Structure 1
Amino acid sequence: MKIGIVREGKIPIDKRVALIPEHAAYLKNKFKCEIVAQPSAIRAISDEEYVRYGIDLQEDLSDCDVLFGVKEVPIQDLIPNKTYFFFSHTYKQQPYNAKLLRACVERNIRLIDYELLKNNGARVVAFGRFAGLVGAYNGLRGWGEKYGQFVLKPAHECHDMQDMFDQLKGIDWPADLRILLTGKGRVASGAVETLQAAGIPEITPEEVENHEGSFWSQLDVEHYYRTSDGSPFDRKALFADPSGFESNFMQYAPYAKLYIAGHYYDSRAPFIFTRADAKRLDFAITYVSDISCDIDGPVASTLRASTIAEPFYGYLAHEEKEVAHDDPEAIGVMAVDNLPCELPRDASLSFGSDLMEHVIPALFDGDKALILHRATECADGVLAKDFKYLQTYIDKA
C-alpha cells in the first residue's frame, strides 16, 4: 500500500495536515508501507521536516492507493480510483459541496469522511478541542481590544499552543470580566483549558448571581434549557426531542459580560438567546465569542462567520444589524468558523495521533471493526448503502 499526504488546496488556505512527519515515519516503519507527502509552501510543517523523517516529497500522487487531506479536496485535484480521507461536508446535504460528492462518485473514488469515523457512536477524530482553545482565547482578545483593557497577540501569530497560553500570563483581568461558557463536549473542554491557563476564577452556575469580581462558569444543558411546562428536567428527553424545552439562559445573562458559546446545537432545539432577549434591559452580555458559529441561529448576535484576518465585528441589538466592533453600543462578536487553523501545528499533532490510534490500523487489519465501512460515503462508482439518501442531492448538482 502506498499512502499520500495531500497539499491543502481549498481557499482560504489551511495550514493543517492529517499526518505530521513523526506519524508518517512511524506508519512507514510499523506497517512496512510506502508514504509520501505532496510538497506544500503553506503547510505549518515544512517539507524539510518530512524529509528529515525519511518521508519523500512527491508532486504527482497518482500512484498512491490512499490519500489523506484535511479540508475538501478541490474537484480539479481529485484523482480517479483512489481512497480519500477528508472532511467533505456533504452528508448533511450541504449545497455548496454537492458537486464535490458527485465528482467522487463519477471518478470511482472511495470517500471516507472524518466526521463519520465513529466508535460506539462517538467520533474518534476531530479538531473540536482546538476550536475551543482558540475560541476562548479570541473572546478574551476581542474583549481586550474592544474595551482597551489589555492586548493579546493573535493566536495565529503564536508558534504553538504554549506560546498562546504564555500571552495570558501576568494580565490583570478586569473585575467586570464575568464569563459564561455553554457546552460540555470537546469544544467546551478546549475553552476550559484556555480559561484555566488565564487564571480567571471558576465558579459554579449557582454562584453566578451573587459573585463579585471576575469569574467563568460552565453551563450544561440543564442550566441553559428548561422544560416548557415546568416539569422536572430530563436530559434524555431533551436529546430525543427538544421541542418540549425552552431557553433558560436569561437566568444567567443579567450577571455576565462575556459569553463563550461552545455547545453543540441541534437545529430542533430552542435558541439560546434571541434578538428579543438581546434588547432586554437585563441582558448584560456585551461580548460574544461564538465558537459554534451557527449563522442566524441559537446565538442571535452571530449574523455571519468572521475570518482569522478580521475576527471581530459588532452587533447593534436594538437595530438587529452589524456595526463596527468598536461601536460603544454594540455587542462585540467573534465568530471565526475555522478556529483550529490558528494553531495548525498542535491541531495537526493531536488529529494525527487520533488517526494513528483509531483509524490507520483499520487500513491494515481488513477493517475488522467496520469503522471505515461505516464512514464510506461512496465507492465503486455509487453511493454507499447508508448514504443512498444523497442521490437526489448529487443528481441536482
Structure 2
Amino acid sequence: MKIGIIREGKNPPDKRVPFTPDQLKVIQHEHAGKLKFQVQSSPLRSFSDQEYLDAGIEVVEDISDCDVLFGVKEVPIGQLVEGKTYLFFSHTIKKQPTNRKLLRTILEKRIKLIDYEALKDEEGRRVVAFGRWAGIVGAYNAFWTYGKKTALFDLKRAYECEDLQELHSELAKVQLPPVKIILTGTGRVGKGAMEVLNSLKIREVSAHDFLHLYFDEPVYVKLGSADYNRRKLDGGFDKQEFYTFPERYESHFQKYAEAGELLISGAFWEWGAPRLFELKDIGGEDFQLSVIADVSCDVGGPIPTTITTTTIADPVYDVDRQTGEKIQAFGSQTSISVMAIDNLPCELPREASREFGIQLMKWVIPALLEENSGILERATIARDGDLTIEFMYLSDFVNQYE
C-alpha cells in the first residue's frame, strides 16, 4: 500500500502534519514490504522536506499514484484526486454550510472519505484528535487576550513560544485580580485548558460557590452540560435525553455570565442544542463576561458572539454590547473581546503533530492493514459516489443548493 502525506492547501496555511519524520521512519521499518510512504513537498510544514528526507522518506511533488492520502485540514476542492481514499478533518458531519460543496465534490469524484472526527472505538469514544492542544493554546490565548484588554500583563503569542515548556514559563507573567473564570467542556479540550489553569495555580471551585461566594483570589468553575441546560418541561436533566432530543432543553447559563468575567468555551456542541446565551443578552447590565475564548469555535453555534472565526495572525475582535456588531479588538473597554481561532494547535504545531501521529500509529495504521476494519468503516463518510449508511443523514444537506 502506497500512502501519501499531502501538502496542506487550506488558507491560512496549516503547519501540522499527520505524522512526523521519525514516526514515518518507524512505521515504514515495522511494515516493510507492506507500506511505503511519500511526502508531498511543502515549504510551510513545521517539519521540513529535509527532515523527512533525513528519515529516509521519499519527498515528491506529485503523489497522485498513492492509494491512501493523509492530510490534516479540509482539502481544497481543486486539489482532490478522483477515486482516492482520503483521511482528513472534513468538518462536514455537523452539516457545516461552508463545506457543503466539498462533500458534494467528494461524492462526484467517487472519493472514499474517512474523517478523523468520526474515528471511534467500539464504545464510541474518539481515538484521534488535536483537542488537548486546542485546549492548551485556547486557554493560553484567553489569558493573552485578558492581558491585552486590561493592560495588567503582556504575554508572548503562543506561536512565538518554542514549545510547551516555554509556553508554561511565559504564564509566570500572568498577574490576575480576583477574577471568576468559566470553563465549559470535560473532554480533551477541557482537560487541555485545565493544564493551563493549573499551571497558573488558579483554584477550582464548585458551581454553587462560584455563583454565591466572593473570593479574594482568581477562581474557576468547570461546567458540564448538566450545569447550564435544563429540561423545558420541569427543569430536570437527563444526559441521554439531552443528546438525543436537545430541542427539549433550554439554557440557564445566564447566572454564570452574571458572575464570571472570562469564559473558556471548550464543550462539544450538537446542532439543535441550546445556545449558552443569545446576542441580545450581552447588552444587559448584569452580563459580566468581558473576554470569551471560544476554543470549540462553532460559528452560529453555542456562543453567539462568535460571529466569525479569527486567525493566528489576527486572533481577536470585539463585539459591541449594544449593537451586537463586530468592532476592532480592544477598541472599547465595555465591549466583549472574542478569541475564535479555528486552528489553535497550529500555534504549537510540532508537539501537536507528534501526539496526533502517535494516535494514528496506534489506531489507524493497523486498521489499514486489516481486511474489513470496523474502526475505518465507522468513520467512512463517502464511498463510490454515495454516502455510507451511518452518514445518510447528510443527504439533504449535500443536495441543498443555495
User: Common fold, TM-score beyond 0.5?
Assistant: yes
What is the TM-score when the length of structure 1 is the normalising length? 0.92
What is the TM-score when the length of structure 2 is the normalising length? 0.91
Report the Cα distance in structure 1 between the residues aligned to 2:349 and 2:86, rounded to whole angstroms: 21
Say whether residues 1:282 and 2:286 are aligned partners: yes
Q: Which amino acid aligns with 1:133?
A: I
Listed one character per residue, the Cα deviations across residues 134-181 of structure 1 (whole Å, up to 9, x for unaligned) are: 111111000101111111111122222222222102x35222332111
Report the Cα distance in structure 2 between the residues aligned to 1:396 and 1:277, rounded to whole angstroms: 32
1:105 and 1:378 in contact (8 A); partners too = yes
2:280 and 2:324 in contact (8 A); partners too = no
What is the RMSD of the two structures over their aligned residues, measured on CA atoms? 2.1
Q: Which amino acid aligns with 1:13?
A: P
> Counterpart of 2:102 in 1: which secondary structure?
helix
Match of 2:128 among 84, 109, 125: 125
User: Residue 161 and residue 373 in structure 1: after superposition, are their counterparts in 2 closer, same or farther (change >3 A)?
Assistant: same
Match of 2:181 among 164, 169, 179: 179
Listed one character per residue, the Cα deviations across residues 239-269 of structure 1 (whole Å, up to 9, x for unaligned) are: 2323333322233333221111111122322
User: Residue 289 and residue 28 in structure 1: after superposition, are their counterparts in 2 closer, same or farther (change >3 A)?
Assistant: same
User: Structure 2 regions of 5+ residues with no counterpart?
Assistant: none
Report the Cα distance in structure 2 between the residues aligned to 1:92 and 1:237, rounded to whole angstroms: 19
> Counterpart of 1:267 in 2: which secondary structure?
coil
Listed one character per residue, the Cα deviations across residues 116-140 of structure 1 (whole Å, up to 9, x for unaligned) are: 2111222211112221111111110
Deviation at 1:16, TM superposition (A): 0.6
Report the Cα distance in structure 2 between the residues aligned to 1:51 and 1:131, rounded to whole angstroms: 29
Deviation at 1:348, TM superposition (A): 0.8
Question: Which residue is 1:22 aligned to?
Answer: 22
Question: Which residue is 1:380 aligned to?
Answer: 384
Report the Cα distance in structure 2 between the residues aligned to 1:93 and 1:294, rounded to whole angstroms: 12
> Counterpart of 2:203 in 1: which secondary structure?
coil
Summarize the alignment of residues 352-391 of structure 1 with structure 2, pairs less than 5 Å apart. Answer: 352-368=357-373, 370-390=374-394
Report the Cα distance in structure 2 between the residues aligned to 1:223 and 1:202, rounded to whole angstroms: 15
Say whether residues 1:330 and 2:335 are aligned partners: yes
Deviation at 1:382, TM superposition (A): 3.8
Summarize the alignment of residues 1-397 of structure 1 with structure 2, pairs less than 5 Å apart. Answer: 1-32=1-32, 33-119=35-121, 120-169=123-172, 171-208=173-210, 209-210=212-213, 211-326=215-330, 327-368=332-373, 370-390=374-394, 393-394=397-398
After superposing the two structures, state which structure 1 stretch, 346-355 or 174-183, moved more: 174-183
2:263 and 2:291 in contact (8 A); partners too = yes
1:173 and 1:200 in contact (8 A); partners too = no
User: Residue 386 and residue 156 in structure 1: after superposition, are their counterparts in 2 closer, same or farther (change >3 A)?
Assistant: same
Q: Which amino acid aligns with 2:26?
A: Y
2:40 and 2:63 in contact (8 A); partners too = yes
User: Structure 1 regions of 5+ residues with no counterpart?
Assistant: none
Deviation at 1:83, TM superposition (A): 1.6
Deviation at 1:379, TM superposition (A): 2.7
Report the Cα distance in structure 1 between the residues aligned to 2:377 and 2:224, rounded to whole angstroms: 34
Report the Cα distance in structure 1 between the residues aligned to 2:244 and 2:394, rounded to whole angstroms: 24
Deviation at 1:391, TM superposition (A): 5.0
1:278 and 1:300 in contact (8 A); partners too = no
User: Residue 247 and residue 13 in structure 1: after superposition, are their counterparts in 2 closer, same or farther (change >3 A)?
Assistant: same
1:67 and 1:85 in contact (8 A); partners too = yes
Q: Which amino acid aligns with 2:183?
A: L
> Counterpart of 1:190 in 2: which secondary structure?
helix
1:133 and 1:191 in contact (8 A); partners too = yes
Q: Which amino acid aligns with 2:269?
A: Y
Q: Which amino acid aligns with 1:153?
A: K
Report the Cα distance in structure 2 between the residues aligned to 1:335 and 1:12, rounded to whole angstroms: 14
Report the Cα distance in structure 2 between the residues aligned to 1:291 and 1:117, rounded to whole angstroms: 21
Deviation at 1:229, TM superposition (A): 4.3
